Chains A and B, each alone.
Chain A
Amino acid sequence: MDVLLVGAGPANLACALQLSRLIASHNERMRQSAGKPLEEVNIAVIEKASEIGAHQLSGAVLDPISLRELIPDFESEGAPLEAPVGEEHVYFLSTNGKIPMPILPPPLRNHGNYVVSINKLVRWLGEKCEDAGINVFPEFPGAEMLYDGNAVIGVRTGDKGIDKTGKPKPNFEPGVDITAKVTVLGEGVRGSLTKQMVQRLKLDQEADPQVYSVGIKELWEVPDDRFAPGSVIHTLGFPLDSHTFGGSWVYGMRDRIIDIGLAVGLDYRDPRIDPHHEFQIFKTHPLIKDLLKGGKLVRYGAKAMPVGGWYTMPQLSADGVMIIGDSAGMLNGERLKGIHIAIKAGMLAASTILDALVKGDFTRNTLAAFDDHFKQSYCGQELQKARNFHQAFDRGRMFGLITAGVSTLTGGRLPSRLPIKAGHEHLRKIDGNGEKDKYEGLKYDDQITFGKLTDVYYSSTHHDEDQPPHLKVLDTNICIDRCTHEYGNPCENFCPANVYEMVEAGAEKRRLQINFSNCVHCKTCDIMDPYQIINWVPPEGGGGPNYRNM
């Protein structure tokens, strides 16, 4: 391969599509000017999901600015848009009431934007890529990076057909080494290859630690047109405590579908917090309950998102490799948007790759131009303006709201750069005497609220049971000896898919059971584990959630 893109999300698909066009127009120019056109360039995208888009989850409201650049007539070309954003509200919720925000905060103004399903949008982009002759291979997870010295030369894909003890099964097929002149990591949030590589090549030396939120999302079908397509509600407050960053979204989609979700900052203090439970409680607020009444749950999912922004982005390129999209932290936490940035980053990366192909130089010397171009682009500038947003909430909600407000007015300027630390370091230890269950008495009515296991069913996640767990816990003794006493095994709480369970193992003994086949690939465990001993790696290709319309 010449160009290998890992992960079929908006960033990489935009990159592949743009690159194929840039190459075509470059060759056309060369032919006309009697210059030398490029020889055939092989572009391939690999994706761990069973089909393109199946692991994509987002709100989402799309700022169409970069899609318009990529595909100017995207509306008439059949881009799957739910509706242009119509009526918009932002509320601060108390337990039973709501206070409308006197003015819509500028970052949350969505006029001119579209409510979309990222999963549908990505499927559509995938078709565009295939039409352009780009090979997209689903069911191929990247297992490890291939290096020559410190230069990236490609990716080894995951083995297939390994049983749970690690032995090959009759259908065993070893992973393949795909070498490429340039590898683009657009793996999404907390990419497993990106994580390995950033550490190895020390690409985060000058960056603050990334911080994340996890979004818990459900799709509901309601019996009437009570919530028009394109309607948008955002809320703050209930049910999250004042040390927990986050808020909700409610978006109107086509065909009487309501898209509803809660983002919970993965830098909360209380280790008993369970984002799934918080979301269930959120739905009991009168505002939401009335909206969903008589409707039915059709889909569930969860996904982490990087919210640290500008100061937390790693170096975006190194020898033979570039990082784009959520993998590089390209999300504006203040506007709750990243798809447009991912698309723009993909397009800019494509320009740099074309230069590299023309020059025949794939080292950082050439690729570093991407870092600059991205930072100077309108998307880079947008991130730069929002650079202190999440950081302001590092000290709680009140400080955050005020500081973020000031920061918006000053275009991001504050007297000093605000410090930030990794989310899991915020976790406080539990009271040694045993705290009572934070969610004592929480009951699910199976009408509006659902237990975690039931919700997981609605993610349609599936993994072959006979394979090694893809959640690698480096030392399970820590779970039993230390974590139970210090943090009360928060993995049972933060995982929105019931993967982690401490089960009785004989008299007064417990052990960690990993129900890996429940995993929805949100990456929260890898992020929030207080000891950082959980390592998320991709399972056998094709495993994972099967999101539709998410």
Chain B
Amino acid sequence: MSQGILLFIEQRDGVLNRTSYEAMVAAQGIAAATAEKLSAVVLGKSIGGVASEVATKKLDGVYVVEDDKLAEYTSDGFTEASRQVIQKLDPRFVLLSHTYQVRDFAPRVAARIGATFVTDCVGFRAEGSDVVFTRQIFQGKINTDVRVNGAPPILASFQAGSYRADKAENGDAPAPINPLEVSLSDVQIRSQAEPKFQEAKQAVDLSQAPLIVAVGRGIKSQENIEIVEKLAAAMGAEIAASRPICDNEWLPMDRQIGSSGQTVSPKLYLAVGISGAIQHVVGMKNSQTIVAINKDAEAPIFDIADYGIVGDLFDIVPALTAEITRVKTEG
């Protein structure tokens, strides 16, 4: 008869995925409520470190499944290995964290063994020895209770953030670690992992910049942005922009200051060709010193500027750049 709870631990290159501990909080809770034994399983290659780390938690055992075919994550390898693990251990509940990997292999496993899979749960509640899972529907507007009437095992995955990883209880003594054999010789791995890559640089965080030169519609065309960039470079400042510039894609959207962009409060904010619409001003009005260059003396930016230059930015900006460069080089 199926019994016990099996928690899948996710790792990559020997580094534990923290959301596994979040799911562990739920698993420990379910174990306590149902008086079932809780075991964890780690799949991969050279994962002894992860297994020992997991074994410090309050668990009845940790299974380690190592195989060359599990060195990299693949749908084929993990689906078949998981299927064999579940078949061997015959648990009542199989719990997972709702990661990208889980989304990929867990439905396949459920389909192969004919089990029910309750996805993306945010909570659970014990009713007698039964477990009722809570999951969200209608794009998170409603919580719904799910009770599974079918035969075990019941698969359930928990949404990231539903539980706090630091609430996973430590055990009094390390849990026993046992290897578990799976046979993957017949499995043909049909996909091959590309080299791993990190998403390019994070969005610019202008809120930390002490000096900002911001450019607005007064710059007229994309080619002219360059003169402001030169000024920013000479000053050692970050470049930013008001909305029309980013709308035109003359600068990327993460450089936009204002109600639909970033809010900044640098030591110096130099506004070049920015009229000072309220939508922009709310994003920079707390700057310590505001300097504005605009040809319209009635532009609202001058209402909040500490220093203002009324004039043509195409004359002023290059002159300013030259002067700053001169002062800096001559010390």
Q: Is the interface of A mostly helix, strand, loop or mixed?
A: mixed
Residue among A137, A454, A506, A513 making CB contact with B138, cutoff 8 Å: A137
Taken together as a complex, chains A and B put the C-alpha atoms of A135 and B144 apart, in Å, by 14
List the B side residues contacting A137 at CB < 8 Å: 138, 141
Q: Determine whether the beta carbon of A457 is less than 8 Å from that of B247.
A: no
Q: Determine whether the beta carbon of A160 is less than 8 Å from that of B259.
A: no
Decide: A453 near B278, CB < 8 A? Known: A465-B253, A465-B260, A515-B247: yes
- B129 proximal to A (CB < 8 A): no
Nearest-Cβ distance from residue B298 to partner chain A, whole angstroms? 8
- A173 proximal to B (CB < 8 A): yes
Residue among A139, A462, A513 making CB contact with B247, cutoff 8 Å: A513
**Binary CB contact string for chain B from 273 to 299 against chain A (1 if under 8 A, 0 otherwise):** 000011100100000000000000000
List the A side residues contacting B260 at CB < 8 Å: 462, 465, 517
- B139 proximal to A (CB < 8 A): yes
Nearest-Cβ distance from residue B202 to partner chain A, whole angstroms? 15
List the A side residues contacting B141 at CB < 8 Å: 137, 139
Q: How many residues of A contact B (CB 8 A)?
A: 22
- A176 proximal to B (CB < 8 A): yes
- Tell me which residues from 158 to 195 in chain B have a Cβ below 8 Å from any Cβ of chain A: none
List the A side residues contacting B142 at CB < 8 Å: 135
Taken together as a complex, chains A and B put the C-alpha atoms of A372 and B277 apart, in Å, by 52
- Tell me which residues from 450 to 464 in chain A have a Cβ below 8 Å from any Cβ of chain B: 451, 453-454, 456-457, 462
Across the two chains, which residue of chain A brings its CB closest to B300? Answer: A446
Q: Determine whether the beta carbon of B247 is less than 8 Å from that of A173.
A: no
Q: Determine whether the beta carbon of A457 is less than 8 Å from that of B253.
A: no
- Tell me which residues from 266 to 299 in chain A have a Cβ below 8 Å from any Cβ of chain B: none
Q: Determine whether the beta carbon of B277 is less than 8 Å from that of A454.
A: yes
List the B side residues contacting A140 at CB < 8 Å: 138
Residue among A135, A446, A453 making CB contact with B279, cutoff 8 Å: A453
Q: Determine whether the beta carbon of A173 is less than 8 Å from that of B139.
A: yes
Size category of the binding interface on chain B: 10 to 19
Taken together as a complex, chains A and B put the C-alpha atoms of A462 and B253 apart, in Å, by 16
Across the two chains, which residue of chain B brings its CB closest to A174? Answer: B139
Across the two chains, which residue of chain A brings its CB closest to B220? Answer: A504
Nearest-Cβ distance from residue A180 to partner chain B, whole angstroms? 15
- Tell me which residues from 222 to 249 in chain B have a Cβ below 8 Å from any Cβ of chain A: 244, 247
Across the two chains, which residue of chain B brings its CB closest to A466? Answer: B253
Across the two chains, which residue of chain B brings its CB closest to A457? Answer: B278
Taken together as a complex, chains A and B put the C-alpha atoms of A466 and B254 apart, in Å, by 12
Q: Determine whether the beta carbon of B139 is less than 8 Å from that of A457.
A: no
- Tell me which residues from 115 to 147 in chain B have a Cβ below 8 Å from any Cβ of chain A: 138-139, 141-142
Q: Determine whether the beta carbon of B278 is less than 8 Å from that of A454.
A: yes
**Binary CB contact string for chain A from 134 to 155 against chain B (1 if under 8 A, 0 otherwise):** 0101011000000000000000
Q: Determine whether the beta carbon of A176 is less than 8 Å from that of B138.
A: yes
Taken together as a complex, chains A and B put the C-alpha atoms of A140 and B139 apart, in Å, by 10
Nearest-Cβ distance from residue B111 to partner chain A, whole angstroms? 22
Across the two chains, which residue of chain A brings its CB closest to B142? Answer: A135
Q: Determine whether the beta carbon of A453 is less than 8 Å from that of B277.
A: yes
List the A side residues contacting B244 at CB < 8 Å: 503
List the B side residues contacting A457 at CB < 8 Å: 259, 277-279, 282
List the B side residues contacting A504 at CB < 8 Å: 220
Taken together as a complex, chains A and B put the C-alpha atoms of A446 and B300 apart, in Å, by 10
Taken together as a complex, chains A and B put the C-alpha atoms of A456 and B279 apart, in Å, by 9
List the B side residues contacting A517 at CB < 8 Å: 260
Across the two chains, which residue of chain B brings its CB closest to A498? Answer: B277
Taken together as a complex, chains A and B put the C-alpha atoms of A513 and B248 apart, in Å, by 9
**Binary CB contact string for chain A from 222 to 253 against chain B (1 if under 8 A, 0 otherwise):** 00000000000000000000000000000000
Nearest-Cβ distance from residue B30 to partner chain A, whole angstroms? 28
Nearest-Cβ distance from residue B115 to partner chain A, whole angstroms? 26
Q: Determine whether the beta carbon of B139 is less than 8 Å from that of A160.
A: yes
**Binary CB contact string for chain A from 19 to 38 against chain B (1 if under 8 A, 0 otherwise):** 00000000000000000000
Nearest-Cβ distance from residue A464 to partner chain B, whole angstroms? 9
Taken together as a complex, chains A and B put the C-alpha atoms of A135 and B221 apart, in Å, by 51
Across the two chains, which residue of chain B brings its CB closest to A137? Answer: B141
Nearest-Cβ distance from residue A402 to partner chain B, whole angstroms? 45
List the A side residues contacting B253 at CB < 8 Å: 465-466
Nearest-Cβ distance from residue A154 to partner chain B, whole angstroms? 15
Taken together as a complex, chains A and B put the C-alpha atoms of A466 and B244 apart, in Å, by 15
Across the two chains, which residue of chain B brings its CB closest to A136? Answer: B141
Taken together as a complex, chains A and B put the C-alpha atoms of A309 and B186 apart, in Å, by 75
Nearest-Cβ distance from residue B278 to partner chain A, whole angstroms? 5
**Binary CB contact string for chain B from 313 to 325 against chain A (1 if under 8 A, 0 otherwise):** 0000000000000
**Binary CB contact string for chain A from 436 to 457 against chain B (1 if under 8 A, 0 otherwise):** 0000000000100001011011
List the B side residues contacting A453 at CB < 8 Å: 277-279
**Binary CB contact string for chain A from 306 to 341 against chain B (1 if under 8 A, 0 otherwise):** 000000000000000000000000000000000000
**Binary CB contact string for chain A from 465 to 509 against chain B (1 if under 8 A, 0 otherwise):** 110000000000000000000000000000000000001101000
Nearest-Cβ distance from residue A104 to partner chain B, whole angstroms? 40
Taken together as a complex, chains A and B put the C-alpha atoms of A454 and B300 apart, in Å, by 11
Taken together as a complex, chains A and B put the C-alpha atoms of A456 and B141 apart, in Å, by 29
List the A side residues contacting B139 at CB < 8 Å: 139, 160, 173
List the A side residues contacting B300 at CB < 8 Å: 446
Nearest-Cβ distance from residue A141 to partner chain B, whole angstroms? 12
Nearest-Cβ distance from residue A136 to partner chain B, whole angstroms? 10
Taken together as a complex, chains A and B put the C-alpha atoms of A58 and B279 apart, in Å, by 25
Nearest-Cβ distance from residue A44 to partner chain B, whole angstroms? 10
Nearest-Cβ distance from residue A447 to partner chain B, whole angstroms? 13
- Tell me which residues from 180 to 201 in chain A have a Cβ below 8 Å from any Cβ of chain B: none
List the B side residues contacting A451 at CB < 8 Å: 277
List the B side residues contacting A173 at CB < 8 Å: 139
List the A side residues contacting B282 at CB < 8 Å: 457
B139, B221, B260, B300, most chain A CB atoms within 10 A? B139
Taken together as a complex, chains A and B put the C-alpha atoms of A515 and B258 apart, in Å, by 15
- Tell me which residues from 316 to 374 in chain A have a Cβ below 8 Å from any Cβ of chain B: none
Taken together as a complex, chains A and B put the C-alpha atoms of A173 and B221 apart, in Å, by 37
Nearest-Cβ distance from residue B141 to partner chain A, whole angstroms? 6
Taken together as a complex, chains A and B put the C-alpha atoms of A506 and B247 apart, in Å, by 16
Nearest-Cβ distance from residue A292 to partner chain B, whole angstroms? 19
List the A side residues contacting B247 at CB < 8 Å: 513, 515
Across the two chains, which residue of chain B brings its CB closest to A453? Answer: B277
Taken together as a complex, chains A and B put the C-alpha atoms of A139 and B244 apart, in Å, by 28
Nearest-Cβ distance from residue B96 to partner chain A, whole angstroms? 20
Nearest-Cβ distance from residue A86 to partner chain B, whole angstroms? 35
Taken together as a complex, chains A and B put the C-alpha atoms of A506 and B248 apart, in Å, by 12
Taken together as a complex, chains A and B put the C-alpha atoms of A240 and B260 apart, in Å, by 35
List the A side residues contacting B279 at CB < 8 Å: 453, 456-457
Nearest-Cβ distance from residue A133 to partner chain B, whole angstroms? 13
Across the two chains, which residue of chain B brings its CB closest to A160? Answer: B139
Taken together as a complex, chains A and B put the C-alpha atoms of A517 and B138 apart, in Å, by 25
Taken together as a complex, chains A and B put the C-alpha atoms of A456 and B300 apart, in Å, by 16
List the A side residues contacting B278 at CB < 8 Å: 453-454, 457
List the B side residues contacting A515 at CB < 8 Å: 247
List the B side residues contacting A160 at CB < 8 Å: 139
Nearest-Cβ distance from residue A504 to partner chain B, whole angstroms? 8
List the A side residues contacting B138 at CB < 8 Å: 137, 140, 176
- Which residues of B approach A to under 8 Å, CB–CB? 138-139, 141-142, 220-221, 244, 247, 253, 259-260, 277-279, 282, 300
5 inter-chain pairs at a CB distance below 8 angstroms, sorted by A residue, are A137-B141, A454-B278, A457-B277, A465-B253, A465-B260
- Which residues of A approach B to under 8 Å, CB–CB? 135, 137, 139-140, 160, 173, 176, 446, 451, 453-454, 456-457, 462, 465-466, 503-504, 506, 513, 515, 517
Extra contacts, 19 of them, besides A453-B278, A503-B244, A506-B221 (Cβ < 8 A), are A137-B138, A139-B139, A140-B138, A160-B139, A173-B139, A446-B300, A451-B277, A453-B279, A454-B277, A457-B259, A457-B277, A457-B279, A462-B260, A465-B260, A466-B253, A504-B220, A513-B247, A515-B247, A517-B260
Nearest 8 Cβ contacts at the A-B interface: A457-B278, A453-B277, A454-B278, A173-B139, A457-B279, A465-B260, A137-B141, A517-B260
